[in-house]
Structure 1
Amino acid sequence: MHAEVLNRAFSALADPTRRAILARLASGKATVNELAEPFAMTQPAISKHIKVLEQAGLISRGRVAQTRPCKLEAARLKEVAQWLDAYCSLWEDSFDRLDAYLQSTQEGNQDEHQ
Structure 2
Amino acid sequence: MGQGRWRRAVSQAGRSVAVWGVSTVTMLVLAGILPDFRLQSPDGDSATTIAVTAAAGAGVFGVLSALAWPLLVRLLLLVPALVLGLLVFFLNGSLLLLALRLNPSGQSEAAPETAVI
TM over 0.5: no
| Higher helix fraction (1 or 2) | 2
Q: TM-score w.r.t. structure 1 length?
A: 0.32
Higher relative contact order (Cα pairs below 8 Å, separated by 6+ residues)? 1
Q: TM-score w.r.t. structure 2 length?
A: 0.31
| Higher strand fraction (1 or 2) | 1
Kindly name which structure, 1 or 2, has the bigger radius of gyration based on alpha carbons: 2
